[in-house]
Amino acid sequence: MLKGAATTMVHAALLILSSLVAGTLQFQLKHHNNEELLQVLQDVNSRCPNITRIYTLTETSVLGTPLYLIEFSTKPGHHEIMKPEFKYIANMHGNEVLGRELMLKLADFLCEQYMSGNSNIQSLIEKTRIHLMPTMNPDGWQLATDTGGKDYLIGRTNNNSVDLNRNFPNLNRIMYSNEENHLDHNNHLLAQLTRLKEPLQPETKAVIRLIMQIPFVLSANLHGGDLVANYPYDESRTGSQKDEYSGTPDDETFKHLALAYSTHHSDMANPTRRGCGDVDSNRFGKQGGITNGAKWYSLAGGMQDFNYLSSNDFEITLELGCDKYPPTKVLQQEWDRNKEALLNYMWQSHIGVKGIVYDNVAKRGIANAVIHVKNITNGKYQDIQHDVVSVHDGDYFRLLTPGKYKITAYKDGYLPHSRIVTVTNPAHSSAQRVDFALKPISVPPYVRIQSNSYADLDFDDKYGDLQEAWTNWINLNREPIAVQ
Ligand SMILES: *[C@@H]1O[C@H](CO)[C@@H](O)[C@H](O)[C@H]1NC(C)=O
Ligand SMILES: *[C@@H]1O[C@H](CO)[C@@H](O)[C@H](O)[C@H]1NC(C)=O
Ligand SMILES: *[C@@H]1O[C@H](CO)[C@@H](O)[C@H](O)[C@H]1NC(C)=O
Ligand SMILES: [Zn+2]
């Protein structure tokens, strides 16, 4: 017995020693507190220094905890031309904790698999810049944990008692009013915002700045309390509380994105599984594990709709399970249930088309060109009334489902250029490349060109400008202009 115990102790000591030599401790699936969370990220960063970077957002939580992200990229810290940017944000509701642990495990997994030569993971990281934010609400997590993690609500909000998923500027109302007035303007709407319902919380400001700064293409917001992939819009068009399907112009693409998660989860899309709540709550399984947000229940000021209406980003909301604070012993099983879905969803950053919009005389990229799409699959020219804009070096990304499209690039001062494209989306490959060479039009200097809705901006670089305007707006208006 004694000898056995001694051997075990020596063995354990050797294990610790060998992991210290390697500079790492074995990653464990458990509930990591706010200090351990950082240690996990640092450990990943020390094992994978050339493909990761840890960074903090501009604000801390209300109680002063830094908000950390880890990035995976072949050039950490930089947007690379034509490489799509992806993000996962978890634990926005502090008592919904599974996503937080899945993010830590995912970071560990990506690093380990990249280094050990998993070609699928290497290819994903070579083609995509991935940002993981394990917690947006560390204060709520602490409170939920200190009180036993059993309550449906305790720890949900930040420390000012504000629900962060109701605290984003409401761009839906601007967009719905544009719709009523037959204005087709439905994207990059922050410039039209004049008032807020309530002051922005530091956690919300931090994430808004992130969204303005990095040209994300795709993201998901990880929650708990049900099992479903929820897609925009979350806020209903008429204001009705529930049961009102409120789709976006990209409804087909969003359904595809939600299914890309649900059908790769081991149970989300299972039609015979039990629901989380009342008798008919198993309807999500019967719907392929997906739902339109407002069809479920309407929610204003959420992060999902904000991403879509303020930036180029497409975001869905993942409800990862009935239990908001699952016990440690099921975390391994939860990782197994979600792993393929988490990976498959990240690959969706590569659907549709991407390319560069450039000046065909000066031969340089054009930032903030507008990319407009018509769906011509059925021989009709159907406008998809949601434009994306090109970023820093003229590169753009347009997520699309398979079909035939007429895509046009517009920029003030240039002739528009259209191309007909057939999208097929082969698995695990980069988006099809479609470039646009724009020809400058020479006009007398006193003529103002009004070729598109962005023409009245005097700035060259609209994306950068919006970002700067908004950073300034948030800085100057510690209290918002008007709180309704
Ligand atoms: C990172 O380092 C690993 C191991 O040295 C190497 O195999 C890999 O090619 C490097 N990747 C990049 C993007 O530098
Ligand atoms: C804020 O944090 C303090 C200190 O941890 C805690 O006692 C209090 O309950 C928290 N309040 C809210 C609303 O979360
Ligand atoms: C375009 O139309 C086709 C045929 O209806 C459809 O399958 C496809 O999903 C549509 N694309 C988008 C992006 O809505
Ligand atoms: Zn939630």
Q: pLDDT tens, 107-157?
A: 999 999 999 999 999 999 999 999 999 999 999 999 999 999 988 899 999
In the predicted structure, residue 3 carries a pLDDT above the cut 70:
no
Would you say 154 and 143 are in contact if contact means Cβ atoms under 8 Å apart? yes
Which bound ligand lies closest to the C-alpha atom of 158?
2
CA neighbours closer than 13 Å in the CB half-sphere of residue 470: 25
Give the residue, by CA position, lying nearest to ligand 1 atom 14.
Answer: 50
pLDDT for residue 21? 45
pLDDT for residue 93? 98
> 3-state class of 408 per DSSP?
strand
Q: pLDDT tens, 203-262?
A: 999 999 999 989 999 999 999 999 999 999 999 999 999 999 999 999 999 999 999 999
How far away, in angstroms, is 253 Cα from ligand 3 center? Answer: 8
More confident residue, 364 or 479: 364
Which bound ligand lies closest to the C-alpha atom of 160?
2
Would you say 145 and 47 are in contact if contact means Cβ atoms under 8 Å apart? no
Give the residue, by CA position, lying nearest to ligand 2 atom 5.
Answer: 143
Q: Identify the residues whose C-beta falls under 6 Å from ligand 2.
A: 63, 143, 159, 161
> 3-state class of 271 per DSSP?
coil
pLDDT for residue 103? 98
DSSP code at position 46: H
Six token digits for residue 427: 């698995």
How far away, in angstroms, is 96 Cα from ligand 4 center? Answer: 6
In the predicted structure, residue 460 carries a pLDDT above the cut 50:
no
- Report d(CA 300, CA 234) in Å as an integer: 7
Q: What is the mean pLDDT of the chain?
A: 88
pLDDT for residue 477? 40
> 3-state class of 424 per DSSP?
coil
Asked if omega into 396 is within 30° of 0 (cis), the reply is no
DSSP code at position 235: S
Six token digits for residue 59: 């604000």
Q: pLDDT tens, 378-389?
A: 999 999 999 999
pTM for the whole structure: 0.90
pLDDT for residue 108? 98
In this structure, of 64-68, 228-232, 275-279, 316-320, the range with the lowest mean pLDDT score is 275-279
Across 273-299, average pLDDT: 88
> 3-state class of 177 per DSSP?
helix
Instruction: Report the first-to-last Cα separation within the chain, whole angstroms.
Output: 72
Which bound ligand lies closest to the C-alpha atom of 94?
4
Pocket test for ligand 1, best of 44, 51, 52 (most atoms within 8 A of CB): 51
How far away, in angstroms, is 32 Cα from ligand 2 center? Answer: 19
DSSP code at position 452: S
Ligand 3 contacts CB of residue 424 (under 6 A):
no
The residues near 288 (Cβ < 8 Å, ≥ 6 apart) are 259, 262, 263, 269
- Report d(CA 184, CA 175) in Å as an integer: 9
In the chain, the domains with their CATH numbers are: 21-350 (3.40.630.10), 353-459 (2.60.40.1120)
Would you say 140 and 363 are in contact if contact means Cβ atoms under 8 Å apart? no
In the predicted structure, residue 306 carries a pLDDT above the cut 60:
yes
> 3-state class of 219 per DSSP?
strand
pLDDT band at 279, cuts 50/70/90?
low
- Report d(CA 454, CA 210) in Å as an integer: 22
Q: Identify the residues whose C-beta falls under 6 Å from ligand 1.
A: 50-51, 74
Q: Which of 23-32, 186-195, 229-238, 463-472 is predicted most confidently?
A: 229-238
In the predicted structure, residue 164 carries a pLDDT above the cut 50:
yes
Q: Please give the single-letter amino acid code of residue 475.
A: N
Strands 216-223 and 85-90, sheet pairing: parallel
Which of these, 478, 413, 454, 448, lies nearest to 192 by C-alpha position?
454
Give the residue, by CA position, lying nearest to ligand 1 atom 1.
Answer: 50
pLDDT for residue 468? 53
- Report d(CA 371, CA 122) in Å as an integer: 30
Pocket test for ligand 2, best of 62, 137, 143 (most atoms within 8 A of CB): 143
The residues that are catalytic are 319
Closest ligand 2 atom to Cα of 140: 14
Would you say 299 and 223 are in contact if contact means Cβ atoms under 8 Å apart? no
DSSP code at position 196: B
pLDDT for residue 461? 36
